[in-house]
Amino acid sequence: MTMHVDLSGVQNRYRLCFVRDTWAFFTRLTLDRQWGDNWERTPYERYAGAPYAGEPDQILKLAFDGPLLRPETGAHGAAYSVEEINNGRVPWLRTESYLGTKQVFIMAGVTMEKFVASVELAGGTVYVPLGWGDLTHRDGTIAPETPDRSA
């Protein structure tokens, strides 16, 4: 059984800024204003910390699965910093195609809506915490009584 959560109030307000394992972090700040520990160091997977969440609901964290590769993995994997990835040098997530099928690239700054569609196109699934059904009010503002979702 699956449940669907209406994210229409936040799907275009938050943008992808960091990926760790099967977790995608989204910020409502512009990418040049969002930062985390050692985001300038390479390789990010060794040194970089999760994004700072200095304001309430600044960061939303989603789990995902599927045949998606991070910048350091796969046939074309290499070492990058978060700063390089967020500046568009390489995608945060991608598929590899050996049979000529269409590849999927998920770049930094992509909206939550586009992220979900791209993960599903790659054959994966995105998971959100159960409490997110009450995440937004009708006017698009985030409910203040919701628990911290950045952990």
Nearest to 31 by CA among 95, 70, 82, 98: 82
Average pLDDT over residues 114-127: 94
Residue 63 lies in a domain: yes
Residue 51 lies in a domain: yes
38: left (phi over 0), alpha (psi -120 to 50) or beta: left
Residue 104 lies in a domain: yes
Average pLDDT across the chain, whole number? 85
Distances (CA, A) of 102 to 32, 49, 106, 115, 125: 30, 32, 13, 17, 18
Nearest to 136 by CA among 117, 149, 119, 120: 149
Average pLDDT over residues 22-50: 96
Residue 149 lies in a domain: no
Residue 5 lies in a domain: no
- Find the domain containing 79 and state its range: 15-134
Number of structural domains (the chain) is 1
Does the pLDDT at position 150 exceed 60?
A: no
Most confident option among 18-22, 75-79, 129-133, 138-142: 18-22
Model-wide pTM > 0.85: no
Task: At 85, give phi and psi (nearest 5°).
Answer: -65, -45
Residue 145 lies in a domain: no
Residue 27 lies in a domain: yes
Give the span between the Cα atoms of 61 and 18, in whole angstroms. Answer: 9
Residue 147 lies in a domain: no
Start-end of H helices in 22-150: 44-47, 82-86, 112-121
